[in-house]
Amino acid sequence: MTETTGRLFEGADWDFHTLQRIHDACEHVAKNELGLDVYPNQIEVITAEQMLDAYSSVGMPLFYKHWSFGKHFAFHEASYRKGLMGLAYEIVINSSPCISYLMEENTATMQALVIAHAAFGHNHFFKNNYLFKQWTDADGILDYLDFAKTYVSQCEARHGRVEVERTLDAAHALMSHGIDRYPGKKNVDLRAEEKRAGRRRQHEEEVFNDLWRTVPKGATKSRSALSIERRRKLLGLPQENLLYFLEKSAPRLAPWQRELLRIVRHIAQYFYPQSQTKVMNEGTATYVHYRIMSKLHQQGRISDGNFLEFLQSHTNVVFQPEFDDPRFSGFNPYALGFALMQDIERIVSNPEDEDREWFPEIAGKGDVMGVLRDVWANYRDESFIGQFLSPKLMRHFRMFHLHDDPEERAGIRVDAIHDERGFRRVRRELARQHDVGFIDANIEVVDVDLSGDRRLILHHHVIKGSQLNETDSKRVLQHLADLWTYDVALIEVDANDKVLREYVVSPRPLPAAA
Amino acid sequence: MATHIIDRRLNPGGKSLENRQRFLRRAKSLVQGAVKKTSQERDIKDVLEGGEVTIPLDGMHEPRFRREGGTRDMVLPGNKKFVEGDYLPRSGQGSAKDSGPGEGDSEDAFRFVLSRDEFVDLFLDDLELPDLAKRRIAETESEGIQRAGYTTSGSPANISVSRTVKLALARRIALRRPRKSEMDELEAEIAACTDEDTRAELIAKLEKLKAKSKRIPFIDPIDIRYRRFETVPKPVAQAVMFCLMDVSGSMSEHMKDLAKRFYMLLYVFLKRRYKHVEIVFIRHTDRAEEVDEQTFFYGPASGGTLVSSALQAMHEIVRERFNPADWNIYAAQASDGDNSYSDGELAGMLLTEKILPVCQFFAYLEVGESGGSAFDLSDSSLWTLYERLRNNGSQLSMRKVSERSEIFPVFHDLFHRRENQEKAAP
C-alpha cells in the first residue's frame, strides 16, 4: 500500500488519474499518520459557472427555486465578471458521501491542497464534531433537499407561485430564528422526517371528512380556567424558534404552508453547526492540509517548486491583517484556527513553563493527534477559543480588547491588552465574539392573547443596549404578521424588564383568504 | 473505501437560470426602469447589447433581525502602542459605527449584468405588434417535411431495410421456403446413406427442395418497403422591413439620424418576433431607388421630392420578391414632410390600394430639426395627406419627432400594448 515513491504530478497540469493518485496519497497520510476518520469521498470537478451556481444555493448541489438565490447569483456573477471577487477553490458539503467541488482552473498543486483541505480536513470535522453529529444527518440531507425541491415545486403547481413565494419570503426572513438551540427530546432524522411528512399528508387527505366540522362540541371552558400560565404551557411558550412556533400554532396557515416553514426550518438547522464552528472547521482543514502537503513533500512526492506554490497559497489563506490595515475585516477564521491548531501542537509536544501553567492537561502530553482529534470532536468556536487560546498566541496576534460605550465621552476604552493582567479577559471576550448566543438577537415568543385579539407577543432581550435595526425589523415583523394573520407585537426589554421600544404590526390583507 | 471522482464540467450549466428569471420577474418594474434609463445613455447600435444595470434594492431586500448600536466589545489583532486604560478618540477610522457589519445598508443599490436577450426582452417588453398584423400571420404557411409510415414505391435511398427484411421473413415462412439447415441435413443424410433406394428417394427429395427454394426468392420485390415522407404546412416566420426615406436636400443629417434610430428600433423589435428579417432600403428624391444601408444613410443625393416614386418602388419590390402570402411586410417611412402637391393624389392612391393592403404595419415618421418649433406653424403636405387617408379609415400610424430623446417614447407609443387601435393624433 505504501507506494511512497515517485512524484504525484509534475508542473501544473493534472488529469483524472492525477486526482486519483493525489487522493490516494492524501488518504494514506490522513489515515496512517493523522488518524482521521472520514466519510467516503466524492470529488467533483466543476467549472467557474457551476461554482457560481453553487454559491447562489448556499453551496448545496440541489435546492428549491426561489428568487433570492437568483439575486445572489446575479450579484456574484457581476462581481466575478468585474474581477472584484475570486471564487473559492472548493466547496465541500457535509453529506455522506462527502462531496467536494474542485474548480477546473486549479493547478495540480491547488487540487492537492484542496483535496487535502476539503476531502480530509473538513470531512473529518463533519463526521466527528459533536455539533454536526447532534444536528445534522449527513446521510439524509441530499434526499431531504430533493424532497424539499419537489415539494416546493408541487406546491407551486397546486397553489400558485406567488403564494408559495410569499410564504417562503416570510420563512426566509425568520430563518435565523428558526433554530432549536438546545436538543429536545427527539432526534432529528431527516429521512424519517421526510417519510413522516409524506405519510402525514396522505393520512390527512384520506381521513378528511367534512362532517367532523358539524359535530357539536361540548361546553366551552370558562375563560378564567385558561389562565395565562396554562395557555403558555399549552403553546410551549416561551419559544425562541419562531418558525417552529408558527408551524405548530399559527391559526390560519394551510398545511402546505406549515410544511414549507418546516423545510426552511430544517435547512436552517442543518447549517446551524457550521456558523458555530467556522474557526474550528477552517482551522482543522487548514492544519490537515498543511500536515498532508508537508508530508508529501517530505516523501518527495511533490517537487520543491510545487511545494513553494502551495506555501504561497497557504500563506495567503492564513494571512491576518492588523486592525488598522485597510484589508482588515475581523479575525480571519483560517488564520486564527490554523494558529490555534499549531499552537496546540506546540503545547502538546514542546511546552514552555507558561503553557504548563495554563494547560496542565495537555502540555507535554506528546500525542499531538490524539489531543487534536479530541478537540475537534468536542468543542465549538466559543468553547474552543475560551479553552485553548494561549498567552503566547495572544502575544503573537498582539490582541487587545476595546470597550465601546456610547455613553463614554472620552472615547473607546482599551479594556485589556496582551499582558499578564489582560490575557484572561481578552480570551473571554474573543470567545464571546464567537458565541452565537451573543451574535444573534435573542427573540422569543412569550405570549398569545388567545381570548382577546390573538395578538402575538414577542420579546427581544436587549443585551448591552444593542437594539434591533428599525427598518429591517418592521419588514421581518410584517412577514411574521402575514403568517400569523393577526397583530404581532415585538417588545424590546432590557435586563431589568424595562421596555425600550415596542413594535406593533398588522397583517396585510390577503388577496384570497387562506 | 470507495472514492468517486466525477467530471461535472459537462453537466448542463445554467442551474441558476430559473432562479435568475424569478428574480428578474420579481424585480421587473425596477429592472425595466433601469433598462430604459441605461438605453437612453447608449448609442442606438448598442441597444442590443446586454450590460450592467443598477436597481434600487428596495423591493429586493431580504430583511433579517439585525442588532445595532449599544455597548460594543471587540477583540482586535495588531496592537502597537495601546496599554490598558487608554482612550481612543471616537471619530474617523476605528469608530464603532463604521466598522459594524452593516450588511443591509451597504446593499442599497444592486448592480448586476443582464444578458443581451434579457436586455432586449425587457426593453421591448410592453410593446406589441399592432392587432392588424395577426390577420396574415395566421394564414401564411409554407411546406415542411415529416415522416409518415411506409410505402411500396420510392427512391432507393429511402429503402427501409428492417421493414423489408421483416416482410421477406414473413413471406418465406408463409410459403414454407426450405431452410438452408434443412437442406444441409438432407445432404448429410445422403452422404451417410448406404441403401440405394432410400438414397435415390432422398436425392429426389433434395432436388425438390432445391427447386422450391429457387422458386421462392429470399427477398422478393414485393417485400421492399420505402420510408414515406409527407409535406406538412408550417407557419412562416419571416418578415421584411421596408425603410423608405426622403433624401432630398431638405433632409438634414440630424433628421436622417432620427430616422435611422427609428429603423434600428423597428429592426430590433421585428427581429425578436421573426426568425428571419430582411431589410429593404428605398431612398427617394423625385425618383426612388433601392440601395444598401451605407448609401441609404450616408450617400449624397439631391433633387425634388416625389413620395409616390418610393411607394411605387416598394410596390414593385413586393410584387417581385416578397409574396405577401409568405412574408410579413412592415414599412416605415421617414420624411421631413415635403412633397410636391401634384404628387399627393398619386401617392395616396398607391398607398391605399397597393401598399396598405399587403402591409402588416405602415408607420410614417415625420422628422424635424432639433428645436422643432416649425411643427407648430402648420402641418406639412405629406402629413396632411396621410392624415386625410387615416381619417378615411386607412391603417396608418404617424408621429412627429424632432429630438433624439423622443425616438424611444414615440416608438413605444406606436407599439404600446393596448385594447384599441390608435384613434387620436399625437
CB contact under 8 A, B2 and A81: no
Q: Say if CB A457 and CB A444 are below 8 A apart.
A: no
The pLDDT assigned to B127 comes to 64
Q: Say if CB A174 and CB A125 are below 8 A apart.
A: no
Give per-residue pLDDT as tens, A83-109.
Answer: 666 667 778 888 888 888 888 888 889
What average pLDDT score do residues B79-89 get?
Answer: 83
The pLDDT assigned to A226 comes to 60
For an interface test with B, give the residue of A469, A476, A494, A503 to mutate (most B CBs within 10 A).
A469
Q: Which of B2, B19, B112 sits opposite A66 (nearest CB)?
A: B19
Q: Say if CB B99 and CB A323 are below 8 A apart.
A: no
Highest mean pLDDT among A55-59, B123-127, B136-140, B398-402: B398-402
H/E segment holding residue B142: strand B141-151
The pLDDT assigned to B422 comes to 40
Return mean pLDDT, chain A: 85
CB contact under 8 A, B63 and A479: yes
Q: Predicted confidence band at A287 (pLDDT cuts at 50, 70, 90)?
A: very high
The pLDDT assigned to B84 comes to 83
Closest CA to A174 of A493, A453, A483: A483
Closest CA to A257 of A323, A329, A147, A169: A169
The pLDDT assigned to B244 comes to 86
pLDDT over 70, % of chain B: 78
Distance from CA of A212 to the nearest CA of B (A): 41
A155: left (phi over 0), alpha (psi -120 to 50) or beta: alpha
CB contact under 8 A, B69 and A406: yes
Q: Which of B6, B52, B67 sits opposite A78 (nearest CB)?
A: B52
Q: Is A28 on the interface with B (CB under 8 A)?
A: no
How far apart CA A397 and CA A281 sit, in angstroms, is 20
Residue B115 has pLDDT above 80, yes or no: no
Q: Predicted confidence band at A125 (pLDDT cuts at 50, 70, 90)?
A: very high
State the DSSP string of A65-114. --HHHHHHHHHHHHHHHTTS-PPPSEEEE-SSSEEEEEETTS-HHHHHHH
How far apart CA B327 and CA B358 sit, in angstroms, is 9
Parallel, antiparallel, or unpaired: how do β-strands B288-291 and B328-335 relate?
A: unpaired
Cell representation of residue A258: 406549515
CB contact under 8 A, B104 and A464: no
In one-letter notation, the amino acid at residue B341 is Y
Residue B173 has pLDDT above 80, yes or no: yes
CB contact under 8 A, B87 and A411: yes
Q: Which of A43, A323, A441 sits opposite B78 (nearest CB)?
A: A323
For an interface test with B, give the residue of A81, A404, A503 to mutate (most B CBs within 10 A).
A404
SS3 annotation, chain B:
CCCEEEECCCCCCCCCHHHHHHHHHHCHHHHHHHHHHHHHHCCHHHHHCCEEEEEECHHHCCCCCCEECCCEEEEECCCCCCCCCCEECCCCCCCHHHHCCCCCHHHCEEEEEECHHHHHHHHCCCECCCHHHHHHHHHCEEEEEEEEEEECCCCHHHECHHHHHHHHHHHHHHCCCCCHHHHHHHHHHHHHCCCHHHHHHHHHHHHHHHHHHHHCCCCCHHHCCEEEEEEEEEECCEEEEEEEEECCCCCCHHHHHHHHHHHHHHHHHHHHHCCEEEEEEEEECCCEEEECHHHHHHCCCCCCCCHHHHHHHHHHHHHHHCCCCCCEEEEEEEECCCCCHHHHHHHHHHHHHHHHHHCCEEEEEEECCCCCCHHHHCCCHHHHHHHHHHHCCCCCEEEEECCHHHHHHHHHHHHECCCCCCCCCC
CB contact under 8 A, A412 and B90: yes
The pLDDT assigned to A1 comes to 41
Cell representation of residue A485: 394573520
The pLDDT assigned to A511 comes to 56
Q: Is the dihedral of CA A426, A431, A434, A437 positive or negative?
A: negative
Closest CA to A141 of A78, A72, A58, A68: A58
Chain A contacts of B3, Cβ < 8 Å? 20, 23, 27, 40-43
CB contact under 8 A, B70 and A81: no
Distance from CA of B408 to the nearest CA of A (A): 28
Give per-residue pLDDT as tens, B7-45.
Answer: 888 777 677 778 888 888 887 777 777 777 776 665 555
Distances (CA, A) of A471 to A259, A341, A476, B111, B420: 29, 42, 9, 22, 44
Q: Predicted confidence band at B176 (pLDDT cuts at 50, 70, 90)?
A: confident
What average pLDDT score do residues A412-427 get?
Answer: 87
Q: Which residues are bridge partners to A439 per DSSP? A: none
Q: Say if CB A302 and CB A8 are below 8 A apart.
A: yes
A123 or A78, higher pLDDT: A123
Radius of gyration of chain A (CA): 26
Q: Is A399 on the interface with B (CB under 8 A)?
A: yes
Q: Is A469 on the interface with B (CB under 8 A)?
A: yes
Residue B57 has pLDDT above 50, yes or no: yes
Phi and psi dihedrals of A3, rounded to 5?
-95, 75
The pLDDT assigned to A347 comes to 92
Of the CA atoms within 13 Å of residue B160, those in its CB half-sphere come to 19
Give per-residue pLDDT as tens, B339-349.
Answer: 777 777 888 88
What average pLDDT score do residues B164-182 get?
Answer: 90
**Maximum pairwise Cα distance, chain A:** 85
SS3 annotation, A416-457:
EECCCCCHHHHHHHHHHHCCHHHHCCCEEEEEECCCCCCCEE
CB contact under 8 A, B75 and A462: no
The pLDDT assigned to B275 comes to 67
Parallel, antiparallel, or unpaired: how do β-strands B361-367 and B397-401 relate?
A: parallel
Cell representation of residue B122: 425587457
Give per-residue pLDDT as tens, A425-482.
Answer: 899 989 988 887 777 888 888 888 777 788 888 888 888 888 888 888 888 898 898 8
Q: Say if CB B228 and CB B150 are below 8 A apart.
A: yes
How far apart CA A437 and CA A444 sit, in angstroms, is 13
Closest CA to A143 of A99, A180, A108, A192: A192
User: From the centroid of its chain, how far is CA B383?
Assistant: 33
Cell representation of residue A504: 406593533
Closest CA to B6 of A141, A111, A101, A63: A101
pLDDT over 90, % of chain B: 3
CB contact under 8 A, B94 and A399: no
Of the CA atoms within 13 Å of residue A85, those in its CB half-sphere come to 14
B37 or A352, higher pLDDT: A352
Distance from CA of B333 to the nearest CA of A (A): 41
Angle at A307 between CA A306 and CA A312, to 5 degrees: 100
Q: Say if CB A405 and CB A387 are below 8 A apart.
A: no
Q: Which ipTM score applies to this complex?
A: 0.75
The pLDDT assigned to A261 comes to 92
Give per-residue pLDDT as tens, B275-302.
Answer: 677 888 888 887 788 888 777 777 777 7
Residue A126 has pLDDT above 80, yes or no: yes
Closest CA to B266 of B329, B206, B335, B309: B329
The pLDDT assigned to B97 comes to 39
Distance from CA of A103 to the nearest CA of B (A): 9
B229: left (phi over 0), alpha (psi -120 to 50) or beta: beta
Length of chain B: 426
The pLDDT assigned to A8 comes to 85
The pLDDT assigned to B143 comes to 67
The pLDDT assigned to A375 comes to 92
Chain B contacts of A421, Cβ < 8 Å? 84
A50 or A222, higher pLDDT: A50
Say whether B186 sits in a helix, a strand or coil: helix
In one-letter notation, the amino acid at residue A374 is D
How far apart CA B18 and CA A66 sit, in angstroms, is 8
